[in-house]
Amino acid sequence: MAEKKKTTAKKTEAKKETKHEAPAKQETKKQAPAPVGSTTKQEARIGVFICHCGTNIAGSMDIPAVQEYAKTIPNVAYVDNYKYMCSMPGQGVINKAIKEQKLTGVVVAACSPRLHEPTFRTATKEGGLNPFRFEMANIREQNSWVHMHDQEGSTEKAKDAIRIAVAKASLLQDLFPKAVQVEHAAMVVGAGVAGMQAALDLANAGIKTYLVESTPSIGGRMSQLDKTFPTLDCSQCILTPKMVDVGRAPNIELMTYSEVDAVEGYIGNFDVTIRKKARGVITMAEGEARGIVGGGCNGCGDCEVVCPVVKPNEFEVGMKPRKAIYINHPQVVPLLYTIDFNSCIKCGLCVTSCGEKKAIDLEAKDEFVKVKVGTAILATGFDIFPVEKKTEWGYKKYENVVTSLEFERLICASGPTGGHLIRPSDGETPKKVAFVLCAGSRDNTGNGKPYCSRFCCMYSLKHAHQIIEKIPGCIPYLFYMDIRSFGKMYEEFYYRIQDEGGKFIRGRVANILEDPATKNLHVYADDTLLNRPVDMEVDLVVLAAAVQPMEDTNRTRKLFGVSCSMDGWLLEAHPKLNPCGTTTAGVFLAGVCQGPKDIPDTVASAEGAASAASIPIHKGEVELEPYFAMCIEERCAGCGMCVNLCPFSALALVEKEGRKVMQVTEAKCKGCGTCGGFCPGGAIWMNHFATPQIVAQIDAFLLGGEQ
Ligand code: FAD
Ligand code: SF4
Ligand code: SF4
Ligand code: SF4
Ligand code: SF4
Ligand code: SF4
Ligand code: SF4
């Protein structure tokens, strides 16, 4: 299969001199790329390895024709193909050829670099070359998969892709990753069940962990739930001990009522500024530090009793009041009151009732704290879609239409009704309850969410069970499109609810109208199984509302340089191979901030993220990809324009031999290329994406084999 070819390099020597040359002097010998001319087109010996990917690639193009063509590309010294290039034997083919053919560079024509660039870099290194003398031609995702019915077209496109990759590989240089020390500390943002689990795992692994939560207490949505499917455990019973563990863990520094304000730095050395919002109440430890004997808040609640300002309690989804000085529920961690300064009238009654404990400071201001961490985990969770946008279901218009989260609080023993499910309009016990599934999910109208919210089928089954159990004679009617009971013991739970008497109607609810006299609701739908319209009168409607990312997620993710999907869910580095990582090294994802997940999946993802985040910390040192910018000082006019353009503050002007020149902080540079594309003097050299390399690729594309 393997064939050696006569290089046609002589015929196609580079036509023009490029004015871009690598920096002559480098700060450290190890990082210095050789001048770009050191691997000239004449000297380069490139090996091309074409992957079949089973039939993924080979089924859509003529591999022998691509191979024959590759032999004619200038600088190509060796061409081979293999069924699965990423397999051990496939990598062995590359290894062997590097040694036997004295290759100076490697091109693998296969899938996306996102999937296997690291694999082939390792193979290149094992063959004895610098791992950055490797280039990938994507002939799968960008070719065979999209042109599977055009054999001829995809064959030609593969030839182009390989020719372009060879042009770059011919000019690649040795590069050396930079090693940086990793701070022995981590940060977790968001303290729902995901953030708490991740923080506990990190802390138990001996890592100092800062847990930042924007609300006054940890716990997140799970603390609002009554029971959890499919085991029907009491949510608070399993969550509260974990909350207490988090509050007590010596390695966890809990920062509630706080937000991340700024992030600087890179993996190993993130400098994070946290805004601690003015809480107006100090802890007992703070009291002690201020020399107040027996001072600080002990959670006695005297202040709450006297406070005259009443506001809706967010934890109870507005169905119960709270005061301007408050805790949202009795199990809060930390047990520390908070003043809502947006509604406080500063009457001072709370200060008087607090007395000698002197825990209240009505003049408190936001404080900013700086910490250094090696890695960070985002676990910012989710919010409920404002389902009132779907006006056809009458939420916020009809009193007896509630959301599932409101249902959780209404059925919960610690909720606003002490666990008695009632109709909000008259306090009566309902006899017929309609559950509207996919309320705002799987909705392509532009007025909802196109995705499945993943846990609402299951919690609606749980709700149906709860009313059958609690209210004898009450019948739950579930209007559904499909029941998605995909988890362990979930399908069995679905059958159980059917056996218990839950009624299932397959069809999307078109409209809900209230009978003004009785406040009953008419639910209109099409029963798509019996093929007939439905008009059902019920006492109460529960909307299984879609979920969406938390409001502040966008701001927070930008601080950490994390991408998001079109729907705003945070984006993992790779959905299959790196589901907890992000494209920012050292930043990981846990829980629903990444996309809807039930509690078991949330906890599993949190454990994965904690494990991934602890690896660099335990190693103590990480290597940064050497894709940073470099300054060709002779060309730099010291204009400083690039300094302001760099989004990562990696550039500065420094004084050298009586003039100003630009200097790069390599560890901060993300290799985005903004400065390189801008510099009017061509003074910036982008490692691995240098102008001559890119120009060679453009030439190879535009001029074909005639370059
Ligand atoms: P969250 O619980 O949302 O926690 C995120 C935390 O991050 C919050 O405390 C939030 O205040 C904080 N935060 C957000 N943004 C920031 C920021 N920028 N800075 C700092 N902190 C921030 N699952 C089951 O398995 N079984 C069930 O029975 C079940 N029932 C459910 C019933 C309903 C009505 C709903 C809506 C969900 C239900 N779920 C159930 C799903 C379950 O709630 C989630 O799987 C779980 O809560 C996800 O946890 P999380 O930590 O990822 O997110
Ligand atoms: Fe498939 Fe990529 Fe592996 Fe080739 S290298 S077999 S294209 S996954
Ligand atoms: Fe805390 Fe003082 Fe209020 Fe008691 S009265 S809960 S100690 S702030
Ligand atoms: Fe309530 Fe503010 Fe008056 Fe205190 S000062 S009692 S928090 S309104
Ligand atoms: Fe609809 Fe069920 Fe998906 Fe929720 S989980 S969006 S109810 S299909
Ligand atoms: Fe130097 Fe170019 Fe930056 Fe100006 S833009 S300071 S010339 S590197
Ligand atoms: Fe900043 Fe230039 Fe590096 Fe981009 S490539 S991060 S602009 S120094």
Say how many Å lie between the CA of residue 223 and the centre of ligand 1.
9
Q: Tell me the DSSP string of 426-471.
A: T-PPPSEEEEEEEESSS--SSSS-SS--SSHHHHHHHHHHHHHHHS
Say how many Å lie between the CA of residue 53 and the centre of ligand 3.
67
What residues are in contact with ligand 5 under a 6 Å CB criterion?
437-438, 441-442, 452-454, 456-457, 481-482, 484, 544
Task: Please tell me the residue having the least CA distance from ligand 2 atom 4.
Answer: 53
Q: Are 7 and 71 in contact (CB under 8 A)?
A: no
Beta-carbon neighbour count of residue 192 at 10 Å? 28
Say how many Å lie between the CA of residue 116 and the centre of ligand 2.
8
CA distance 186 to 180: 16
Q: Return the ligand 1 atom nearest residue 408 CA.
A: 34
Determine the residue type at 508.
Answer: R
Three-state DSSP class for 628? coil
What pLDDT was estimated at residue 299? 96
22 and 152 both lie in a single domain: yes
- Residues in contact with 250: Cβ distance below 8 Å, sequence separation at least 6, in sequence order: 203
Nearest Cα residue to 29 out of 176, 132, 179: 176
Pull the structure tokens for residue 673: 């290329």
Q: Are 357 and 363 in contact (CB under 8 A)?
A: no
What pLDDT was estimated at residue 11? 36
Neighbour-count burial for 203-229, b at 16+ CB within 10 Å, e otherwise: bebebbbbbbbbbbbbbbbbbbbbbbb
Is residue 264 one of the residues assigned to a domain?
Answer: yes
Kindly calculate the radius of gyration of the chain based on its CA atoms and give it in whole angstroms: 31
Cβ(92) – ligand 6 distance below 6 Å: no
Q: Return the ligand 6 atom nearest residue 638 CA.
A: 6
30 and 149 both lie in a single domain: yes
- Residues in contact with 312: Cβ distance below 8 Å, sequence separation at least 6, in sequence order: 318, 319, 320, 321, 322
Ligand 3 test: best mutation among 304, 354, 358, 362, most atoms within 8 Å of CB?
Answer: 354
107 and 51 both lie in a single domain: yes
Which of 177, 212, 231 is at the close of a domain? Answer: 177
- Pairing type for strands 521-527 and 532-538 reads antiparallel
- Residues in contact with 19: Cβ distance below 8 Å, sequence separation at least 6, in sequence order: 682
106 and 166 both lie in a single domain: yes
**Ligand number, closest to the Cα atom of 294:** 3
Instruction: Give strand ranges (E) for 277-406.
Output: 310-312, 321-323, 325-326, 338-339, 367-373, 375-378, 382-384, 401-403
Q: Are 682 and 141 in contact (CB under 8 A)?
A: no
Say how many Å lie between the CA of residue 192 and the centre of ligand 1.
6
Is residue 150 one of the residues assigned to a domain?
Answer: yes
Pull the structure tokens for residue 595: 């996309």
CA distance 377 to 4: 50
Which of 588, 618, 648 is at the close of a domain? Answer: 618
405 and 502 both lie in a single domain: yes
Is residue 485 one of the residues assigned to a domain?
Answer: yes
CA distance 46 to 170: 7
What is the length of the chain? 707
| Owning domain of residue 97 | 15-177
H-run or E-run covering 69: helix 63-70
- For the chain, the maximum distance between any two Cα atoms, rounded to a whole number of angstroms, is 93
Task: Please tell me the residue having the least CA distance from ligand 2 atom 5.
Answer: 86
Q: Are 684 and 631 in contact (CB under 8 A)?
A: yes
Look at phi and psi of residue 102 and say left if phi exceeds 0, alpha if psi is from -120 to 50, else beta. Answer: left
CA angle 534, 536, 541 (to 5 degrees): 120
Say how many Å lie between the CA of residue 67 and the centre of ligand 2.
17
The conformation of residue 160, written as its DSSP 8-state character, comes to H
Residues 31, 34, 40, 44, CA torsion sign: negative
Q: Tell me the DSSP string of 243-308.
A: HHHHHH-TTEEEE-SEEEEEEEEETTEEEEEEEE---SB--HHHHHHTT-TT-S-----HHHHH--
399 and 498 both lie in a single domain: yes
pLDDT means per 10 residues, the chain with 707 residues, are 39 40 44 43 86 97 98 97 98 98 98 93 97 98 95 97 98 93 98 98 98 98 97 95 97 98 93 98 93 92 98 97 97 97 98 96 97 98 98 98 98 96 97 98 97 98 97 97 96 97 97 98 97 97 98 95 95 92 94 98 98 98 92 94 89 94 89 92 93 95 72
Say how many Å lie between the CA of residue 221 and the centre of ligand 1.
4
534 and 435 both lie in a single domain: yes
Check which CATH number belongs to the domain holding 632 and give it: 3.30.70.20
Task: Please tell me the residue having the least CA distance from ligand 5 atom 2.
Answer: 457
Cβ(635) – ligand 1 distance below 6 Å: no
Q: Return the ligand 1 atom nearest residue 194 CA.
A: 51
Say how many Å lie between the CA of residue 655 and the centre of ligand 2.
50
443 and 294 both lie in a single domain: no
Beta-carbon neighbour count of residue 335 at 10 Å? 15
Instruction: Give strand ranges (E) for 176-257.
Output: 178-181, 185-189, 208-212, 227-228, 233-234, 252-255
Pull the structure tokens for residue 290: 């201020």
CA distance 541 to 543: 6
What pLDDT was estimated at residue 23? 55
441 and 524 both lie in a single domain: yes
- Residues in contact with 127: Cβ distance below 8 Å, sequence separation at least 6, in sequence order: 94, 95, 96, 97, 98, 99, 103, 106
Is residue 691 one of the residues assigned to a domain?
Answer: no
Name the burial class of residue 682, with classes exposed (0-12), middle (13-18) and buried (19+) by CB atoms within 10 angstroms of its CB. Answer: middle
Is residue 707 one of the residues assigned to a domain?
Answer: no
CA distance 93 to 359: 71
Say how many Å lie between the CA of residue 138 and the centre of ligand 2.
10
- Pairing type for strands 208-212 and 185-189 reads parallel
Neighbour-count burial for 423-461, b at 16+ CB within 10 Å, e otherwise: bbeeeeebebbbbbbbbbbbbeeeebbebbbbbbbbbbb
Taking only the tens place, the pLDDT of each residue in 280-310 is: 999 999 999 989 888 999 999 999 999 999 9
Structural domains counted in the chain:
5
Is residue 75 one of the residues assigned to a domain?
Answer: yes
Task: Please tell me the residue having the least CA distance from ligand 1 atom 3.
Answer: 381
Ligand 2 test: best mutation among 57, 66, 86, 93, most atoms within 8 Å of CB?
Answer: 86
Nearest Cα residue to 160 out of 706, 705, 696: 705
82 and 200 both lie in a single domain: no
Cβ(684) – ligand 6 distance below 6 Å: yes
Nearest Cα residue to 109 out of 152, 66, 77: 66
CA distance 412 to 428: 17
Ligand 5 test: best mutation among 438, 455, 479, most atoms within 8 Å of CB?
Answer: 438
Check which CATH number belongs to the domain holding 209 and give it: 3.50.50.60
Cβ(550) – ligand 1 distance below 6 Å: yes
127 and 234 both lie in a single domain: no
Check which CATH number belongs to the domain holding 71 and give it: 3.40.50
Cβ(325) – ligand 4 distance below 6 Å: yes
Q: CA dihedral in degrees (37, 43, 44, 45; nearest 10)?
A: -170
CA distance 610 to 560: 17
Is residue 422 one of the residues assigned to a domain?
Answer: yes
166 and 45 both lie in a single domain: yes
What residues are in contact with ligand 7 under a 6 Å CB criterion?
628-629, 645-646, 648, 650-651, 664, 669-676
Cβ(346) – ligand 4 distance below 6 Å: yes
Is residue 8 one of the residues assigned to a domain?
Answer: no
CA distance 647 to 630: 16
Cβ(348) – ligand 4 distance below 6 Å: yes
CA distance 448 to 440: 5
Which of 177, 205, 228 is at the close of a domain? Answer: 177
Cβ(84) – ligand 2 distance below 6 Å: yes
